[in-house]
Amino acid sequence: MPLDSPVQAERRARTAPPRRTRVAVALARAAAAVSRGTGAGAGGVVGGRIAAALDPDVVRHLGRDRTVVLVTGTNGKTTTASMLTRVLEPLGPVAANRDGANMPDGLIAALVDRPDAPFAVLEVDENYVADVAQRLRPACLVLLNLSRDQLDRVGEVRAVERGLRAAVAGLPGTAVVANCDDPLATSAAMASARPVWVSAGGSWTADALACGRCGRPIQHDGPAWRCRCGLARPRPDWVLAGDRAVDSAGRTAPLALQLPGRANAANAAMAVAAAALLGVDPAAAGARLATITEVAGRYRRTTLAGHPVRVLLAKNPAGWRETLPLLGDRSPVVIAVNGREADGRDLSWLWDVPFEVLRGRPVVAAGERSADLAVRLTYAGVPHVRCADPVRAVAGLPPGPVELVANYTAFRQLGQRSGDG
Ligand SMILES: [Zn+2]
């Protein structure tokens, strides 16, 4: 079911943006350039903030005349958006928030940075999808999964699902690509007039034990699931089968990914399904995905304090569930946990991560909230040492490879210290 036209020119009048928007964009670009030049940061978000202050409707104006894809969900947004960007690049320039700045300022910055790009692939924080999508009228919304994340900021996951469901219902022209193995994502996407269902699997169902619509228990039977209220797993249009994604017409995308793990295969299947809607051949899309080796520093292999280190990001129970199997069974593991606003200050989710599987290997609790982590590891029966600075934690280990898993701001701090190696 390809979309009517790759570039939806018919939906938007090809007129120059209003003067107010042009001024806002010019000043935002200047501010971003100054910020970059002074080393004050990537600069983009500052520019986005300025543009939004000068033109409250700047998102809508900047989105006109582009084919926009939004990517949302609890885990995998940055990776999946990066995959889609890579797949669409042969068709033309793509505006993208590659650094994961997924709130409105970051989205505006990405659009301001590439004003002439015919495509935009934007990852969007779940709580901003309704507002952003109303303004951008995306061709496609990719809804990856829904589980608990940052309880104090994002809110209760079923409330997030209800918000997304209402947003989807207000987008009759948008195709919604959703993982039909995730009952909460399915409940939200079921409100779409144009759903595309991907059986992408999932290993974390603890947040979808109860139906998002009626609260009754979801019955699971193999891949199928249903609730007594009638909500049930729809028939998939795409199936992730091992290392390939196959659609109901038999079109196949081989996924020879360099990125590790089942979750990335799921992200790839979602990206292929979305790209196919925009007219990209699935096999060609799969081949493009094989060229990705890291995503905004995640999965990066680097040298820190003389050790070969692989850097992974995990910031909630579902993300940890996918990350633990990647860690092998020998190398020491340094876990860095912060509790800043962007991480969520409530770290109670640590108690839902099965850290018990790390017993028997060297573990270091690091990060600004290493004390909270250390308590959790103690109750999990995992002997460990504590060292708040993750780089010093690595330095203190015997020679050899190290797995370093960090949550959001701890991960970003590592990126800023990449010269420490
Ligand atoms: Zn129900």
Per-residue pLDDT, 73:
94
pLDDT of residue 56: 85
Is the pLDDT at 207 greater than 50? The verdict is: yes
- Between 3 and 186, the higher pLDDT residue: 186
Instruction: Please provide the CATH number assigned to the domain covering 301-417.
Output: 3.90.190.20
180 is known to lie in a ligand binding site: no
Integer Cα distance of 185 and 169 in angstroms: 14
Mean pLDDT of 227-254: 95
What's the whole-number mean pLDDT along residues 294-315?
A: 90
**For residue 208, what pLDDT is reported?**
61
Are 60 and 135 in contact by the 8 Å Cβ rule? The answer is yes
Q: pLDDT tens, 35-93?
A: 777 665 555 678 888 888 888 888 898 999 899 999 999 989 999 999 999 999 999 99
Q: Residue 159: pLDDT above 80? A: yes
CA of 52 from ligand 1 middle (Å) equals: 40
Please state at what angle helix 77-88 crosses helix 262-277, rounded to 10 degrees: 40
CB-based contact 286:256 (threshold 8 Å): yes
Residue 136 tokens, joined: 């951008």
The pLDDT score that the predictor gives to residue 35 is: 77
pLDDT of residue 418: 56
The values of phi and psi at residue 72, to 5°, are -140, 175
Average pLDDT of the segment spanning 119-148:
94
Which among 384, 405, 406 is positioned nearest to 396, based on CA atoms? 384
Provide the token pair at 330: 């020998």
CA distance 365 to 151: 22
- 97 pLDDT higher than 80: yes
Flag whether pLDDT at 165 surpasses 50.
yes
Q: How many CB atoms lie within 10 A of CB 118?
A: 17
Dihedral sign computed on CA atoms, order 170, 171, 175, 177: negative
Write out the residues surrounding ion ligand 1, Cβ under 5 A: 211, 213-214, 227, 229, 231
How many Å lie between the centroid of ligand 1 and the Cα of residue 229? 4
- Predicted confidence at residue 274, as pLDDT, reads 98
* Superfamily of segment(s) 57-289: Mur-like, catalytic domain (3.40.1190.10)
Strand order across the 307-313 sheet: 301-304, 307-313, 402-406, 333-336, 363-366, 385-386
Task: Tell me the CA–centroid distance for residue 195 and ligand 1, in Å.
Answer: 19
- Report whether 227 belongs to an annotated binding site: yes
3-state class (DSSP) for residue 199: strand
Residue 140 assigned to a binding site: no
Distance, CA 140 to ligand 1 centroid (Å)?
26
Residue 387 labeled ligand binder: no
Residue 11 is predicted with a pLDDT of 44
Rounded average pLDDT over 93-116: 90
In angstroms, what CA-CA distances link 248 with 33, 179, 201, 264, 282?
A: 47, 15, 17, 22, 12
The contacts of residue 413 (CB under 8 Å, 6+ apart) are: 338, 390, 406
CA of 205 to the centre of ligand 1 (A): 15
Which residue in 168, 232, 237, 227 sits closest to 199, CA to CA?
237
Identify whether the C-beta of residue 309 lies closer than 8 Å to the C-beta of residue 298.
Answer: no
Three-state SS for 392? helix
Q: In the predicted model, what is the mean pLDDT of residues 360-374?
A: 96
Q: What is the set of active-site residues?
A: 346
